[in-house]
A and B are shown apart, each in its own frame.
Chain A
Amino acid sequence: MLTVATGNKAVATAVKQACPSVVAAYPITPQTEIVEQIAEFVTSGELKSQYIPVESEHSAMAACIGASVTGVRTFTATSSHGLHYMHEMVNWAAGARLPIVMANVNRALGPGWNIWAEHTDAFQERDTGWLQVYVGSVQEAYDATLMAFRIAEHESVLLPVMVNLDGFLLSHSMHPLQTVEIGDFIPPIRLPHAIDTAHPMGYGTLTGPDQYFRLRWDIERSMRDSVGVIRETEREFAKRFGRRYDAVEEYRCEDAEVVVVAMGTLGKEAEVAVDLLREEGVPAGSMRIRWLRPFPRLDLSGRDVVAIDRDYSFGFGGVIARSLAATEGAKPFSVIAGLGGQEVTYDDIAGFVRSRRPGEEYWFGVMPDV
């Protein structure tokens, strides 16, 4: 069905269709509408979930953990400070192998208080064992949320999935949304280690180095297996509903001599910049990284790379730029842009490409123009 929705509404609608047994959440700008929508669905009876209005995000994730380990589907949503307040439990959810799905509306971290888009919040959770997908449109927020449940709950994954959408740019902007009849796209959840009084087990028991090490390796094995599960799920989604996704969305890359690599809405903006550059005769292309974990492979060989980071790892660099250097041996022109909701247009991005200096780092709006 074709409707119009904000990114938040799109997520809430997908959650309604996935019908988790338990939703525990805490409000925070710009995620609040997700929580409010779900509360409304539950109150009106459209969604038959237990909705727990917890007193903090730490408790939101803890409640999801407690629910999930009984073998039911769970969902929560948060943003920036909320995500970081639940950090301990974010690690716990992955370590406990619980397929919780969480929407995170990307927002900058204080001080000073800033409610606008930035990716640093979720990037700081990248080593927790969660799968992370970043969307570029309202439609994709909906589609990715539906797929997240199927991927997280897949028997060879059983890891939590975080769906990231840019604060305000997606969470609050109204776009057309094509909803689908999901049918049996998300199979019933089956958690092999669900609590069962007929088969009592210890959960999270004191664990020595040997066994602990094995459990960590097991997380990584599932993370690697998730690459195939994601691909299979995205193909099945395309087959059933007609919309195709990949770990990396390439745009006019076949003959590109320079590619812009970016995430979220900046990745979409880059596509417009590519069109502009092509008109000028610059053989440009763009790659929008969707899955940060598991981190995808990119075909960058022999091309100039302009990496745009809406995040920063202090004392190290832009996380995307440094990741491309580590995984692909790239020497990107590393642009730091959009922090705290800074506006970055396709014109700006085209400018980065025109005046790129491979191997250097440039802070847009702070350093003199290149």
Chain B
Amino acid sequence: MEGFELIKQGAEAKLYKGIYLGKPTLAKERFVKEYRHESLDSFLTKERMKAESRAIVRCKACGIRTPALYLVDFKRRIIFMEYFEHSITLKDFIESCSSPQVLESISFEVGKMLGAMHESNIMHGDLTSSNILLVNRDDVQKFDDVSELYLVFIDFGLAQFDGSAEDKGVDLYVLERALNSTHSVANKIFPKIIEGYRESYTVGCKEIFSKYEEVRARGRKRTMVG
């Protein structure tokens, strides 16, 4: 990756940062899984890249900010997308935030967007506080005034679009678990997210919550047994 610097080596992909077509760019390269048959591996990789791009484009259609896509290269297994230079992950934001009111209002916003996403039948698939960014609108490295920030969802590699109430419930449960294991203030955040979710997802979210409760009960039982 000439002209790019490696910033992260994940389980599925390598992330590089650089300038592409004159813009700050993130290149997400999915690596070959040697243990898989070659043609199956490239088929599955292509499907994941399509799902990720589709989710990114469909989120925009319902007004949710996601990185802009610059090139989807199936042969090189790379998606070139917008890199947000002046951003912090929701995870770091939560950990450094000392105002309960600010945390509540951000959580409510996250919930509203999540509700809109689910209402459009986009399931993120890997909701965590590292997969949501807060970006400064004025291109400065400053994150203490919420009115200067906007939310961006990233990392849609596991997105799905079938839209059953069960899948949506699972999406919420995955987020709750991720927050619980990352943040001591999780019990202040998650209820606000649900509140925002209910506000934007008005029709049909009742069934989702009952699925969510079911999944949650199963999850609890599993952790009690195991």
Same complex for A and B? Answer no
Binding site for B on A (CB under 8 A): none
Binding site for A on B (CB under 8 A): none
